[in-house]
Amino acid sequence: MDGRTAGVVSGDATEEAARRRTFAVISHPDAGKSTLTEALALHAQAITSAGAVHGKAGRRGVSSDWMEMEQARGISVTSAVLQFAHREQVLNLLDTPGHADFSEDTYRVLAAVDCAVMLVDAAKGLEEQTRKLFDVCRHRGVPVITFINKWDRPGRDALELLDEIESEFRLKPTPVTWPVGIAGHMRGLVDVRDPERMLRYTRAPGGAKEALEETLGAGQAAAEHAGDWQQAGDELALLRETGAVHDPEAFLAGKSTPVFFGAALSNIGVRLLLDAVVDMAPAPGPRPLADGGGERPVEAPFSGLVFKVQANMDRSHRDRIAFVRVCSGVFERGMTVTRAATGKPFATKYAHSVFGQDRSSVETAYPGDVVGLVNAGALRVGDTLYAERKAVFPPMPTFAPEHFSVVRPVDIGRTKQFRRGIAQLDEEGVVQVLVSDRRGEQAPVLAAVGPMQFDVVRHRMENEFTAPVRLESLPYQTARATDLQGAELLNRSRLVHGEAMHRVRDGVWLGLFPSRWHISSFEREFPDSPLETLIAAHE
C-alpha cells in the first residue's frame, strides 16, 4: 500500500461519519474526569475493569494515564485517545488534562472534537477551569453535555447547581436524568423521558465493575423512598413549568445543555450518559477552512488536522506520534498525503490507534476518527494534511503564558541533547520556547500557562534526553504580541520594566511584562506601538 494516493469512495465516508461521535471530557481538576473516562469505556465494554486516579495501594491506575509522572501524581498531564463501540456507533473519546497548568493542551484537543462532556463536581459546582473550558467550547461552537458528578457524596442542591449553570454560562440547563435523594444520600435516578420509573443502583465492590441497575415502578419507589421520590417529582414538575426540556436544536446551537446526574467512581448514571453521547452528540460534519475558504465536506477527499504531537509514548521504541483528526474522506494506511504547510508529500506507513499505552495498526479511518502517525518528525501541531484537493484548516491558537523561566543544561557537555530536547518539547506544545537578544539561543526562555509544565520539562529532559536542566524564574507575569519595532522600543526603554523575545515556533514577537501596570506604562510612552492581547489572557 506504500506510496498509494487516496482513492475516496464518498459514500463510505458519509456513511461511516454518520456512525461517529467524537467528544472530549472537560472539567476542573479533581472533578473526576479520568474516572469518568474509564467508566464510559467500561460501560462500552472496551475494558473489563475501571481504575481510578486516586486509589488505594495496589489498585490499578486508569488506562488513559500512561506517563510515569501522571501515575505518580494522580493527575492527567497529556491527552489520551480512546476508541470504542457502543450500540453500533463508533465513539472517539479524547481524554484531556484536567490540571489547569496544562489547559493549552486541552484547548487544542477541543479543536478536534464535535461535542464535549462538561463534568461538574456536585459539591464545588462551577470552578475556574470549568468556566475557561466552557468559554473555549462556546468560541469553537462545540455543544456541551453536562454531567454532575459525585452525587453519592455530600454536595449542593440540584436546583441551585442548575441556576448556577444558567447564570454563569447563559446556557439553559435541561435535565435528562434527575436524582432521587439529595447529594450524599442518593437513592437512584429518574430518566425524565420515563418519569414513572426509578433506577436504583448497587455499587460493585471497589467500583471496578458496572453498578447493578434495577428498575422500580412509581408505586414501589413511593413506598420505599417516599419523601425523596416525592421531592424528585415536585422538582421535575417545576422544571417542566420553566421550560427546562431538552431541545436538540438549542443544544446543537449552544443555547442549552442536557444535564445528567451520577457518580463516575461508582459507575452510577454512566450508561445513560453514554447513550446520550450516541443519541444527542452531533456526527462529524463540514469543517471551516482558513481565510474564508469555505468548508471541507466529509465526503471530500481525505483531509486531517494534527492537534497533538507526543514523543516517547512507547519507551522501547522512543517514537513520536502525531495525532490526526480525520476531517474528510477515507484515510488508508500507506497512502501518501500532502502537508499543507510545505506542499511536500508525507507517507503514512505507520498508522496506529492508541488506547492508553496499547496500540494497534489502523488500516482505514473515517471522519471523526483519530489516527496516530508514528515517527512523524516533520509534523507540527496545527498542520493540515490532505489528498487530491488542497485544504488548509485555521491555525491552532497559541495561548497566553503567565510563567517564564530561563532554561540551561546542567552539563554543558550535553548541549546537543539539550537543544534537541527543548526543540522537541516546543514542537509538541509542552511549553512555548522564546529566544531573546539578551541571552541568545544558548539560554532559551520557557513560557508556560502553569508552573507544573516546568516540572514536565525537567522530568522529560532528564529521563528522555539525558540532559538535566536548571531553570531560573523570570519576574514576568504577562505577555503581549507586538512587532519588531515594538520589541526594539521595549528593549531600549528606560521607563518600562519589560523584555521582548520572539517565539521560536512561529517567529511572533512578544513583550513580557511584570504586571498590567507596566503594560499601561509602555502604552503611554509608545502609543503607536502594537500590543495585542493573547487568547486566554488573565485581565
Q: Tens of pLDDT along 162-172?
A: 999 999 999 99
The residue type found at 78 is T
Q: Strand (E) positions, 270-350?
A: 287-288, 295-296, 303-311, 320-328, 331-332, 336-339, 344-347
DSSP 8-state symbol, 366: -
* Spatial contact of 449 and 429, defined as CB atoms under 8 Å apart: no
Query: Does residue 202 surpass a pLDDT of 50?
Result: yes
Q: Tens of pLDDT along 445-484?
A: 999 988 888 988 999 899 889 999 999 999 999 999 999 9
- Whole-number percent of the chain with pLDDT over 70: 85
Q: Tens of pLDDT along 224-247?
A: 999 999 999 999 999 999 999 999
Task: Find where cell 523584555 sits.
Answer: 499
* Mean of pLDDT values over 30-51: 69
| C-alpha torsion angle, residues 391, 20, 103, 307 (rounded to 10) | -30
From residue 354, give the alpha-carbon distance in Å to each of 204, 281, 360, 365, 476: 28, 22, 7, 13, 38
* Spatial contact of 111 and 324, defined as CB atoms under 8 Å apart: no
| Grid cell listed for 119 | 463534568
Rounded to whole angstroms, the Cα distance separating 534 from 215 reads 52
Per-residue pLDDT at 80: 61
Q: Which one, of 506, 523, 527, 489, lies nearest residue 398 by Cα? A: 506
Rounded to whole angstroms, the Cα distance separating 178 from 261 reads 6
* Spatial contact of 430 and 78, defined as CB atoms under 8 Å apart: no
Confidence of residue 184 (pLDDT cuts 50, 70, 90): very high
- Give the other-Cβ count within 10 Å of 153's Cβ: 16
Rounded to whole angstroms, the Cα distance separating 182 from 154 reads 8
Rounded to whole angstroms, the Cα distance separating 455 from 274 reads 35
Per-residue pLDDT at 7: 42
DSSP string, 232-287: HHHHHHHHHHTT----HHHHHTTSEEEEEE-BTTTTBSHHHHHHHHHHHSPPP--E
Query: Does residue 116 surpass a pLDDT of 80?
Result: yes
Query: Does residue 175 surpass a pLDDT of 80?
Result: yes
Per-residue pLDDT at 518: 93
From residue 243, give the alpha-carbon distance in Å to each of 145, 247, 281, 527: 18, 10, 21, 51
Query: Does residue 5 surpass a pLDDT of 60?
Result: no
Q: Tens of pLDDT along 303-338?
A: 999 998 876 555 554 567 888 999 999 999 889 999
Between 4 and 310, the more confident residue is 310
Buried b (16+ CB within 10 A) or exposed e, 242-253: eebebeeebbbe
Q: Tens of pLDDT along 387-444?
A: 999 999 998 877 788 899 999 999 999 999 999 999 988 888 888 999 988 888 889 9
Per-residue pLDDT at 3: 38
Angle at 299 between CA 298 and CA 302, to 5 degrees: 80
Query: Does residue 48 surpass a pLDDT of 60?
Result: no
Look up the pTM and report it: 0.80
| Grid cell listed for 379 | 509534523
Per-residue pLDDT at 75: 34
* Spatial contact of 456 and 430, defined as CB atoms under 8 Å apart: yes
Mean pLDDT score across all residues of the chain: 85
| Grid cell listed for 140 | 469553537
Which DSSP helix (H) or strand (E) runs through 518? helix 516-525
* Spatial contact of 77 and 69, defined as CB atoms under 8 Å apart: yes
